[in-house]
Structure 1
Amino acid sequence: MNTVEISVIVPIYRIEKYLPQCVDSLLNQSFLDFELILVDDGSPDNCPKICDDYAKKDARIKVIHKENGGLVSARKEGLKSAKGKYVTFVDGDDWVDKFYLDIMFKLADTNKADLVVTGHFREFDGKIETIKPKDVGIYNEKELKSKILPNAIYNGEFCEHGISTYVWNKLFKKDLLDQILFNVPNDVVMGEDAAITFSYLTITKSLVISSTPLYYYRQRHDSIVKSVENPKIEYYRLGLLMNYLQSKLKMSLDENNIKEQITYYLYSQILVRSGGLIYGEDGNQMFNPFLNIEPNSRVVVYSSGSFGQHILSTNIKNNYFKVVNWIDVDYHELKIGDNYVKPISSVSESDYDYLIIATINPSYHKNIKTELSLMGVDEKKIVKINTDFNQVSSLLVQLGFDDEFRFQNN
C-alpha cells in the first residue's frame, strides 16, 4: 500500500460557493507528501462535479461520493480510505495557510506527538481575528492526565475550554484516530468535533500546543444557529453528546471532575441556544441566568453572534426585558424584530439599566468589557451570568437530564 505522511479529509455538503478556495489552498501547500480526500456527503448542489473536476487535474486527490449521512459519517468514510500516518480535517467552507501542513507535520515529527493543536484565524464579514491557544508547550502522558484532561472541557472559568473542541486546527495520529472516530455514533449531530477531540485526548500520550495560527475559519451568517423551534430536540441531541463524553472520560478522570466539566459545558450550550432565558412547556420562566435583571429592564445586548441573536429572538417571544440597543464590534447589517446591529460607539447614546455581553467565553468577555469601558460603559451595569453549580445542576434535572446527562423528557 502506498503511504503518505498526511491525509487531509474534507467533508463536503452544500458549500459550492466556498469549495474552490478551500481546495486551492490545500493544493498550494509547501508540504507535498499528502493526499487530499474530498468526501461528498450527498451534496445536492454543484459540489460533486467540482470535486471530480479537481481530481482529474491532481493525482493527490481522492473523491468519495456517498449518500447524505451527516458530518460524523462523512469523516468516517474519509478515514476508511486514508493512507497517511497523520490525519487532519478541513471544513470545505474554510481555507488554510500555505504552510499549514508543513508546520503541523514538523511539530508532530520533532516532538513525536500524538496530537498537535495550533492557533487559527476567524474570518467574519471580511474582518480577521487571530485566536491563539493559551497553554502553549509540550505535554507528556503524565502531564496530560494531571493538567490537560481535568481542564480540557472546562478550565475553571465559565465556560472556556482548556483545549478547543475543533478538529480542524489539529493533527491526529491515524492509528489512534481509528480507535476513536469509528466509535462516535453517527447520530451525534451537535458537538461532533467535541466528541472526537475530547475522546482522543484520553488515549493521547504526547501533546504539542502551538500558538501559530494556520487555519482560516469562516464564520458565515447562514451557519449561525437560529431560533430554536423545538428545545426538546436540541436537549436530546446535546444529551447524546454529553453522555458520550462522560462514557469516554470516566476511564481517565474522577467522577466529580467529569460532572463539573460536563455540567458547565451542557449549561453553556443550553444558554446559547435558548437565549439565556429558559421557559417551560407551560410558557412560564424556569430560569433567568442574567443576575439582577428584572422584568421590563432596559437592556443593551452586545454581540450579533449566535448567543446575541438568540437573546433577541427569545425576548421577542416572551418580552421579558426591553432591548434598547444591539451592538457589536463586528458590525454588520442584521435585524431581529425592531433591532438592528449598531457599532459599539452607539452605546453612549443609549439610556439603559443593564448591558449583556453575549458570550460564554471569559477571555472574550474580559476583552469586550475593556473595550466597552473605553466607550464610557459603567462596569456595574454589565450583567454577570449565574454559574452557581448547585443551581445549574438543579436546572438540568428540571429540564429532564439524568445523572448520565441523557435527556429523558420525551
Structure 2
Amino acid sequence: MSEVSISVIVPVYKIEAYLPKCIESILDQSFTNFELILVDNGSPDNCPEICDEYAKKDDRIKAVHKAHGELLSGRKEGLRNAKGKYVAYIDGDDWVDKFYLDILFKLAEVNNSDLVVTGHFREFDGKIETIRPPYTGVFDENDIKNSILPKAMYNGAFCEHEISTYVWSKLFKRELLNQILFEVPDDIVMGEDAAITYTYLSISKKLTISRIPLYYYRQRHDSILKSIKNTTIEFYRLGLLKNFLEKKLSPYLDKENLDTQILYYLYSLILVRSGGLIHDASGNIIFNPFLKATKNSKVIVYSSGSFGQHLLSSNYKSNFFQIVKWIDIDFHEMSIGDNFVNPFSSIVNTEFDFFIIATINPSAFKSIKEELVLMGIDSKKVVQINTDEKEIRQLFSQLGFDKNLRQ
C-alpha cells in the first residue's frame, strides 16, 4: 500500500448487529486512500469473526484483537497500529456519509489544520436530528489560545461546549495525537473523549470548524450509560479526569477560567450519570438540581435520552417525585418502573406541578420550552436546573472533593 492519508480507527465491542453497516459505510467512501483498523476489544459475540472476514476481503482493513478493556484502550491500540497522516475515529455502532473522509481531508489540507471539527446527525429510534457547531471558520494558534480554549468546555451557558467532546466527527494529525493520547489514564472512563479532545486542542496550531454533518451517531436504547452504582469508584475516576485536564490545560488557561470550566463540565457529567438526583452511599438524596420541584411534586419529565432515562431510574429507586407523565417528541416504546414514554400530545389535561426538561443543552432546553408554551404550558412551571456556582461547589464538597476539586 502506498502512503496512507487517513487511518480510520473503529473500536469494536458487543455491536455485531451494527458493525457491518459501519464497515460498509467506510468501504463505500469516495475517498479511497485510507486504512481501516478494526480493534476488537475482547468482544464476546461474533464481532471478532466479522472483523476477520472483512480483513480477508479488503487489504485496506486490519483486524486487531486485544484483551477486553475500556473504550480508551481500544482507541490507543488503534493508534499504535496507525500509519496515516491523519486519524479519524468512528464508533462501531455508527456510520458515515459517502463523502465523510473526502470532506474531512479537504478541510484539513486546504487550511493546513491540525484539527477538523464537523457537524453530525443523531439517529434515535429511526428519527434523525442534525447537530451543528455554533460557528464555523479557520482559527490560528492565537485564536485557539485566547478565544476557543477558554470556552471549549463551558461557554457560559450551562452546559454548552464551544468544541464538542466527541473524538468522532473530527480529524486529527497522527503525530500530534501520539503526543497526548497515551498520557490519558486508562482509568478515566467518564469523560475520556474530553480528555483527548481538549488536550489535543491545546497543542493545535490550526483549527477548522465546519457545520457540514456527515457522521451518523446512533443513540441506542441499550447503550445509555449506566447510572452511578459505586460512588467511590465513580468519583475517584471523576477526580482523575479533573486532575488530568487541570495538568494539561493549566499552561494555557488562567486558574479561574480553568477552574470554572472544569467545575461545570464535571457537574454536567454527574447530572447525566445520576439522573440529577444525587444519592450518598446510604441511598439518601443529597442534591436535587431541579429548582422549585421538591419532594413529592407531581412532575412531567420530557426526554427519553440518557438524562431522562437516568432521572426515571433514579426516581424509581427513591420515589422522590411523583412522575405523572414521561414524554418525548421522539416517541418510542420504553418503560422504567411504571412509567412509559408517551407522545408529546399526551400532556393535554394532565395535572402536574412542574415540568422537567431533562437536558443539559441550553439551546435544546430553550426550543423545547418554546414548544411547550405554544401548547399552553405555564412557563413558570418549567423547571430550571440549578447552576449556582456556590451550591455546586458545596455538592462537590459533599462528594469528597476539596475546594480545589481534589479528592
Common topology (TM > 0.5): yes
**What is residue 220 of structure 1 aligned with on the other side?**
220
Quick one: distance in 2 between partners of 1:6 and 1:285? Answer: 48
Quick one: distance in 1 between partners of 2:310 and 2:42? Answer: 30
Which one is further off, 227-236 or 46-55?
227-236
Structure 1 residues 167-203: Cα deviation after superposition (integer angstroms, max 9, x where no partner): 0100001111010111111111122211110110110
Contact 1:100 1:215 (8 Å CA) reproduced: yes
Quick one: distance in 1 between partners of 2:164 and 2:80? Answer: 25
RMSD value, Cα = 1.3
Structure 1 residues 357-388: Cα deviation after superposition (integer angstroms, max 9, x where no partner): 00011011111112222222111110011111
Structure 1 residues 293-319: Cα deviation after superposition (integer angstroms, max 9, x where no partner): 122211101011121122222222222
> What letter matches 2:202 in structure 1?
T
Quick one: distance in 1 between partners of 2:332 and 2:72? Answer: 32
SS at match of 1:369: helix
**What is residue 118 of structure 2 aligned with on the other side?**
118
Structure 1 residues 218-239: Cα deviation after superposition (integer angstroms, max 9, x where no partner): 0000001234322222222222
2:338 pairs with 1:338: yes
Which one is further off, 229-238 or 360-369?
229-238
Contact 2:393 2:403 (8 Å CA) reproduced: no
**What is residue 367 of structure 2 aligned with on the other side?**
367
**What is residue 83 of structure 1 aligned with on the other side?**
83
Quick one: distance in 2 between partners of 1:317 and 1:283? Answer: 9
Contact 1:118 1:169 (8 Å CA) reproduced: yes
> What letter matches 2:365 in structure 1?
H
Structure 1 residues 256-293: Cα deviation after superposition (integer angstroms, max 9, x where no partner): 01110010111111111222122333444322211111
* Structure 1 residues 11-26: aligned runs within 5 Å: 11-26=11-26
Quick one: distance in 2 between partners of 1:277 and 1:355? Answer: 15
SS at match of 1:355: strand
> What letter matches 1:208 in structure 2?
T
Quick one: distance in 2 between partners of 1:405 and 1:62? Answer: 42
1:19 Cα shift?
Answer: 0.7
Q: Cα gap change, 1:283/1:50 in structure 2, threshold over 3 Å: closer, same or farther?
A: closer
SS at match of 2:348: helix
1:404 Cα shift?
Answer: 5.1
**What is residue 67 of structure 1 aligned with on the other side?**
67
1:403 Cα shift?
Answer: 4.7
**What is residue 242 of structure 1 aligned with on the other side?**
242
**What is residue 10 of structure 2 aligned with on the other side?**
10
Quick one: distance in 2 between partners of 1:322 and 1:387? Answer: 24
Quick one: distance in 1 between partners of 2:405 and 2:249? Answer: 13
**What is residue 35 of structure 1 aligned with on the other side?**
35
Quick one: distance in 2 between partners of 1:374 and 1:206? Answer: 44
Quick one: distance in 2 between partners of 1:281 and 1:190? Answer: 19
SS at match of 2:25: helix
SS at match of 2:31: coil
**Runs of 5+ unmatched residues, structure 1:** none
> What letter matches 1:61 in structure 2?
I
SS at match of 1:171: strand
SS at match of 2:5: strand
**What is residue 135 of structure 1 aligned with on the other side?**
135
Contact 2:231 2:281 (8 Å CA) reproduced: no
SS at match of 1:4: coil
Quick one: distance in 2 between partners of 1:182 and 1:294? Answer: 45
**What is residue 318 of structure 2 aligned with on the other side?**
318
SS at match of 1:326: strand
* Structure 1 residues 219-298: aligned runs within 5 Å: 219-298=219-298
Percent identity between matched residues is 66
Contact 1:348 1:377 (8 Å CA) reproduced: no
Which one is further off, 225-234 or 383-392?
225-234
> What letter matches 2:308 in structure 1?
G
> What letter matches 2:224 in structure 1?
I
SS at match of 2:103: helix
Contact 1:246 1:404 (8 Å CA) reproduced: no
> What letter matches 1:217 in structure 2?
Y
Quick one: distance in 2 between partners of 1:182 and 1:9? Answer: 15
Quick one: distance in 1 between partners of 2:144 and 2:4? Answer: 28
Contact 1:115 1:170 (8 Å CA) reproduced: yes
TM-score normalised according to structure 2 size: 0.97
Q: Cα gap change, 1:376/1:266 in structure 2, threshold over 3 Å: closer, same or farther?
A: same
SS at match of 1:172: strand
> What letter matches 2:234 in structure 1?
E
Quick one: distance in 1 between partners of 2:78 and 2:279? Answer: 41
**What is residue 158 of structure 2 aligned with on the other side?**
158
SS at match of 1:48: helix
Quick one: distance in 2 between partners of 1:45 and 1:400? Answer: 39
SS at match of 1:349: coil
TM-score normalised according to structure 1 size: 0.96
